Structure 1
Amino acid sequence: MTLAVLCGSTGNDLDPGAARRLADELTAALAAAGATAVVPVEGLDVAGQLREIARIAADASEPVLLCADNLVAHPSLLWTLATEPAGRSTALVIAEAGGDLREERGRLVAAADGTTRFLGAISIAPADLPILAAAAARAADRAPVAPGADGHEPAGTASAQASPGAAGNASAQASPRAAGNAAAEAGSGGHPRGAPVEATTTAAAAGPAGAARRDAVDVLLPALIEGGLVPIATRVRLLHAERVHTTAELTAARAAVAAVDEDSALLRLAVKEKDDFFTTYAVSTWSPMVTKWCARLGLSPSGVTALSVVFAVAAALAFWQASRPAMIAGGVLLYLGFVLDCVDGQLARYTRRFGAFGGWLDTMADRAKEYAVYAGLAAGAERTGLPYAWPLAITAILLQTVRHMTDTWYGALHDEAAARQSAGTAGNTAAGGGVGARLSRASNRVQADTGSAAYWLKRIVVFPIGERWALIAVLAAFGNGRVALAAVVIWGLLAAAYTLGLRSLRSISMRVGVLDTVDTSRHRDDGLLVRAVLSAAKAGAPLVATLVAALAALVLVVGLLAGWVPTGTPEGRWVSGGLQVELIRATGGAAVWLVVVAVLVLGAGLPARSRHDGPLDWLIPAGLRAAEYLIVVAVGLICSVPPPVVYLLLFVLALRHYDLTARMEKGAPGASAARAWLGWDGRVVLLVLCALGGVATIGELLLAVVVGGSFLAGAVGDWRSGGS
């Protein structure tokens, strides 16, 4: 739940009665948004208001939503602030030239020539309450004594005498949309509800700059950012919000609110503002209708996620069947499953039904569905006698997982850079004159040119999920599984080269690290061998050691595929009922190669205790994943492990590693520490021992069962606890 603070304004010329009614409406809207209490902070003394806010922040344990009492807005915007999906601090803003803020990947940072303006409402997450308390106290010490602070209040401050609590209590059970309708009808000014939505995207100016800056909430935001807060931007977009200072402005603002069909706007706002090309034009044009239908049926976002899984599994089975009608049906099912994959997020945003477990489930389901489809394509191609399908599927899952690891950590690096921009130019990708800075400026220009050919080309070339699924659906329906997998691998390799090169150059210009800001050992996926033994060496250069590990494993796999490295020696077969397993041992040259490469891979554990704060150290988790997965492939090649078994082990390992990153991204609780005893290091040792012992197939199967069972046990436990 949320504690709301209604901050009195000090520069208004509102009629006292109108000011009181506006305060009552805001109190009702805050209560409808989920506030357990609405505390007024009143008076002309800004410093006094700030000290009271500091006291409230120091005593609070729940989120604190600060709102100016002269804000006229759709109540759904306050609802949005109070229900930020990941529980982060977020501020209500509007795009406007000449503002003092700008957005960096959805986060707000100070800017002298900004393009964003604060609208007087901000929700502070519990973790950021100490920043709020310190910032409010610091701002109070700096605040000048305002005219009228001697107790003689000018017109417009009658809201300080109002008692809005009754209104808030009476409407605490009402929905924010209902509160919005009531506010709109109270002052529609004769403007029809069906007026064009576009007209509301430009809010009126917040009155005289000096008057707005005298309000406590406006003084507080710069102090919060100075104190290290990097709030998420909640933008008005299709809805309307503005600060009012006169009765005429109040009347006009209420008319602007009434002119918007709030529910229709919320439905459109549930669609991501900047999505990929295929999603934008082939899904989002009609998915809001499905979202509305799901909401009317009472489906939960997680329920829609489950439906999308059903469609994807059905597509995989159709691809496995491999007849032309089945391949066409699989392509259609895959497309419909992707539509539902978009709808689950839209439904969550439309109904504001968020949860850490739901966000985690959505991420995990996306990856599981895609990799199940790869397996279906490979199995179907094999059924029809097409060779090399399983090797392509193995390459695809390895490539996509490593790419996703780089995506996650580069995004985290960007967020960390935004948080550090208050210190000189540290973290500012566009600062300076290096290659990375020039690339950043060029990228920002392209991103700002929404809808241009360059904009869409930039989004398509990175091969996002919508484009991947569209490519698979079309090539599978009109070609075969092998063609679809080959296309995924080729495009994926090109996208990986493009993104890795540009991101590396840009990250160097940021001059910040990110991996040392989290539990480094956990996200490296270190096991007992590294934590207790290898890391005791306290070696340095963790990135170099990781790159050596990944390259050594890659050389081994390439050597095996090219015939430069010998394979294992048959030692017989293991028979149980109708099951036969070939026992092939890594001996001679194969054993030497495998052991040497394994030692080089394990060498990545030597610098595990050193600081991972280099500008390129965000690549380390992806490098460790690549090294481990390539060892799995190498053991499979040396010991002739059936490709489906190799793929199964890679599949469950990918789920484990996605679990780590998804929990970080979605704010889900960390998995039990008991699951960390067998990290990448322990698995590499077990795989090598199984290869040397001639039981690689059995070993990879058992390892898949252990890793998969551990993952499922943790997932079921989180589901039963509601993600808490």
Structure 2
Amino acid sequence: MMLAIVLAAGAPAAGLPTGTGETLSDRLAAQWRRAGAEQVRSAADLDELAALLGTAAGPVIVTGADLVAHTAVLRHLSTSPVGPTVALVLTDPPAAGRSAVHEERGQVVDAGPELADATGVFGGALRVGTEDLPALAAAARAAASPAAEVPAAGPAVDRVFASLVGLGTLTFAHRVRLLVAHRVADPDELSVAEAAVAAVDEDRAELRLSVKERDDFFTTFFVSTWSPYLTKFAARIGLGPTAVTLLSVLFAVSAAVLFGLGGRPALVGGAVLLYLGFVLDCVDGQLARYTRQFSAWGGWLDTMADRAKEYLVYAGLGFGATQAGFRYGWALAIAAMTMQTVRHMTDAWYGVLHDEAVHRPRTARGAGGAIGDRLNTASTRVQADTGSASYWLKRTVVFPIGERWALIALTVALFNPLVSLVAVLVWGTLAFGYTGALRTLRARWMWVPVLDTVDATLHRDDGPLAARLPVVRRAGPLRLAVVGALGPAALLVAELLRLGGAGDPGGLLRLVPVALLVLLVAGLGAGAAHNGPLDWLVPAALRAGEYLFAIAVGVVGGGPPWLIFGYVFVLTLHHYDLVARLEKRQPAPPLHPWTLGWEGRSVLLALAAIAGLAGSGMATLGAYLFVVFVASVVLTWVVLPARATRAAAASVRGGSPG
């Protein structure tokens, strides 16, 4: 249940009459009710605010009584999915007593009446998550104290906000686009702000806001120019974001089937379905933003569906290329999936690195990186030059999902699945090299550890064996993970050379234990501190090592290519689940110990290969992991929430008077 508190202290505009005859404070209260607040209360001062916070059973909105805004602005703030605590940030000129804001990567890092590096002004409203309510109460008490660092002059809501930020509470910034929000101090400012609100078509602006402000080139010019019409239609007929996500999966699977069938009509039809599936993939997010239907389940499903769709398309291309007579069609599909997954792992952790860097100063060792400093400055300058050639080049060269789907659709329609897979691999490899090199330099400059801020064992995906291995701290976990990946890579290269006419398969099978021992070297860093400037690469290196080992064992053991693809695909589902939970700040999957860890799975595959059962062993282990994944999903999103709901209901019944 969301509680909205209108804090009138220090806001002389609270009692001003609005165009509808009610006071500005009363109109704000009514707007918060329309924006979704189940309860709205007024607080005359900070002491009353602190008392009301003690009654809150859910998120709390705290707003000043001097805000003139569209109701949609308030609804967007109250439903923002970026984090539990979010503050409204405006571009209004600073005014006496109001808090200026310094924001980086969407996070408020400093706030106060006077900031030399201000990037905006506090909009007089913030939503505070349940877990941050104790900090909000402490901030209210601190702001009311005579010894408060924040001056007592000015609106009380600004003092509370500055105090909350000063306590180190993670606060995200909510910016206003297309709609109107202004803080006012007198009747003239109120009149001007009301006129600005009336001049904007609220629903039309909300529909435009459903499109991401900054997207990639293909999405911006070939999808978002018309997808809002589909978004509006879907909302009108009552279609939800999850339903649209499932429709996009259906389109992608249909495209994959047509790519596998081959023939020019099927390939062209598959390309069209792939494009439409990507449009629907954009529409589901636009629909969620337009209707404000956000949920942890929806965010998780969208992440998982995006990857599953793409890899099923790779499977269709691999099968189609093989059916057309190319021997290594499946091999290219496996390579594309492996490369893209490892790259996504680096993308996810690099994002975490940047978010962490906002709140953690660089160490003296990392601050001297002149190259990283120049790269950071250049990147910031290019990103700020929205719409320029350099801006679009930078966004396109990294090969985002829109460009990948466009490339697949074009190449398969004009040529064939083989050309499509080769194109994806070539561009993807170049993009991986480009981003990897620049990010490595910038990360060394920032020198901000991130794996030591989370459960490293979980995100390394270590199992019981890695926990029992001795720890080699001096080598560093990244070095050990890279060395571990070299063993499977060497075995795979040796097998490829044998297929080309050199060596004998029996000898390579005897090398499987050697490759396994080299891979297990990565486990020697499991218990070491992951605080190096590049240790954010450890999960990606471990994924590469495990995937390469599985592929090598499958090839050396004579497993069918489609089975190898299927096994690695199941591994990617498991690892993307971990990444989605990291990004959504969710706990570990309930059945995570049952997945055995990267080293446990690799040992079982090696034993199966040595016993001459590589194919059946891979099929059995893959099926087992898929069942565990599905069971974990059902537990996470169906069973455990239902139990929590029943427990809460029972608690309410038990606590009510007889």
Both structures adopt the same fold (TM-score exceeding 0.5)? yes
> Equivalent residue for 1:718?
636
> Equivalent residue for 2:574?
656
**Cα 1:225/1:559, change in 2 over 3 Å:** farther
Q: CA deviation at 1:58?
A: 5.5
> Equivalent residue for 2:44?
42
Determine helix, strand or coil for the equivalent of 2:63: strand
Q: CA deviation at 1:374?
A: 0.3
Q: Deviations over 1:674-701 (max 9, x none)?
A: 5445111111101111111111011111
> Equivalent residue for 1:177?
none
Contact residue 520 and residue 599 of structure 2 kept, 8 A? yes
Counterpart of 1:388, as a letter, is Y
Counterpart of 2:430, as a letter, is L
Q: CA deviation at 1:145?
A: 12
> Equivalent residue for 1:151?
none
- Structure 1 distance, partners of 2:197, 2:281, is 32
Contact residue 357 and residue 446 of structure 2 kept, 8 A? yes
| Alignment counterpart, residue 387 of structure 2, candidates 451, 459, 466 | 451
Contact residue 138 and residue 223 of structure 1 kept, 8 A? yes
Q: Which runs of 5+ in 2 are unaligned?
A: 643-658
Q: Which runs of 5+ in 1 are unaligned?
A: 44-48, 147-209, 570-585
**Cα 1:703/1:97, change in 2 over 3 Å:** farther
Q: Deviations over 1:528-556 (max 9, x none)?
A: 2112x215777761111111112332233
Counterpart of 1:552, as a letter, is G
Contact residue 179 and residue 197 of structure 2 kept, 8 A? yes
> Equivalent residue for 1:495?
431
Determine helix, strand or coil for the equivalent of 2:459: helix
- Structure 2 distance, partners of 1:486, 1:359, is 31
| Alignment counterpart, residue 626 of structure 1, candidates 544, 549, 573 | 544
Q: CA deviation at 1:86?
A: 5.0
**Cα 1:345/1:132, change in 2 over 3 Å:** same
| Alignment counterpart, residue 512 of structure 1, candidates 426, 448, 470 | 448
The answer on 1:697 being equivalent to 2:610 is no
> Equivalent residue for 1:486?
422
1:539-578 equivalences under 5 Å are 541-563=476-498
Counterpart of 2:439, as a letter, is R
- Structure 2 distance, partners of 1:79, 1:12, is 25
> Equivalent residue for 1:352?
292
- Structure 2 distance, partners of 1:670, 1:63, is 24
- Structure 2 distance, partners of 1:641, 1:629, is 15
The answer on 1:247 being equivalent to 2:251 is no
Counterpart of 2:8, as a letter, is G
1:340-379 equivalences under 5 Å are 340-379=280-319
Q: CA deviation at 1:68?
A: 0.8
Q: CA deviation at 1:258?
A: 0.9
Counterpart of 1:252, as a letter, is V
| Alignment counterpart, residue 28 of structure 1, candidates 30, 33, 46 | 30
Contact residue 483 and residue 519 of structure 2 kept, 8 A? yes
Q: CA deviation at 1:106?
A: 2.2
> Equivalent residue for 2:558?
640
User: Between the two proteins, what is the percent identity of the paired residues?
Assistant: 50
**Cα 1:285/1:665, change in 2 over 3 Å:** same
Counterpart of 2:58, as a letter, is E
> Equivalent residue for 1:121?
125
Instruction: Report the aligned-residue RMSD.
Output: 2.6
Contact residue 276 and residue 460 of structure 1 kept, 8 A? yes
Q: CA deviation at 1:16?
A: 4.8
Q: TM-score, normalised by structure 2?
A: 0.91
> Equivalent residue for 2:461?
525
Q: TM-score, normalised by structure 1?
A: 0.83
Counterpart of 1:558, as a letter, is V
> Equivalent residue for 2:60?
64
Moved more, 225-234 or 312-321: 225-234
> Equivalent residue for 1:202?
none
Q: CA deviation at 1:79?
A: 1.0
Moved more, 708-717 or 277-286: 708-717
Contact residue 428 and residue 510 of structure 1 kept, 8 A? no
**Cα 1:14/1:138, change in 2 over 3 Å:** closer
Contact residue 277 and residue 459 of structure 1 kept, 8 A? yes
> Equivalent residue for 1:282?
222
Contact residue 525 and residue 676 of structure 1 kept, 8 A? no
Determine helix, strand or coil for the equivalent of 2:527: coil
Counterpart of 2:405, as a letter, is W
Counterpart of 1:609, as a letter, is G
Q: Deviations over 1:568-619 (max 9, x none)?
A: 97xxxxxxxxxxxxxxxx74x4245322221121121122122212221111
- Structure 2 distance, partners of 1:363, 1:29, is 33
Contact residue 319 and residue 330 of structure 2 kept, 8 A? yes
The answer on 1:412 being equivalent to 2:352 is yes
Determine helix, strand or coil for the equivalent of 2:117: strand
> Equivalent residue for 2:12?
12
Determine helix, strand or coil for the equivalent of 2:12: coil
Determine helix, strand or coil for the equivalent of 2:177: coil
**Bigger relative CO (Cα 8 Å, ≥ 6 apart):** 1
**Cα 1:329/1:526, change in 2 over 3 Å:** same
- Structure 1 distance, partners of 2:380, 2:142, is 34
The answer on 1:297 being equivalent to 2:237 is yes
**Cα 1:142/1:329, change in 2 over 3 Å:** farther
Counterpart of 1:493, as a letter, is T
Determine helix, strand or coil for the equivalent of 1:113: coil
Q: Deviations over 1:443-487 (max 9, x none)?
A: 000000000011111101110000000000000001110100011
| Alignment counterpart, residue 260 of structure 2, candidates 291, 300, 320 | 320
Counterpart of 1:641, as a letter, is G
Q: Deviations over 1:345-377 (max 9, x none)?
A: 010011111110111001100000000000001
1:676-691 equivalences under 5 Å are 676-691=594-609
**Cα 1:249/1:625, change in 2 over 3 Å:** same
**Cα 1:69/1:440, change in 2 over 3 Å:** same
**Cα 1:345/1:687, change in 2 over 3 Å:** same
- Structure 2 distance, partners of 1:623, 1:396, is 16
| Alignment counterpart, residue 75 of structure 1, candidates 52, 71, 74 | 71
Determine helix, strand or coil for the equivalent of 1:271: coil
> Equivalent residue for 1:161?
none
Contact residue 271 and residue 408 of structure 2 kept, 8 A? yes
Q: CA deviation at 1:133?
A: 2.7
Counterpart of 2:101, as a letter, is L
Contact residue 84 and residue 90 of structure 1 kept, 8 A? yes
**Cα 1:268/1:143, change in 2 over 3 Å:** farther
> Equivalent residue for 2:648?
none
Contact residue 566 and residue 590 of structure 1 kept, 8 A? no
- Structure 2 distance, partners of 1:700, 1:560, is 18
> Equivalent residue for 1:438?
374
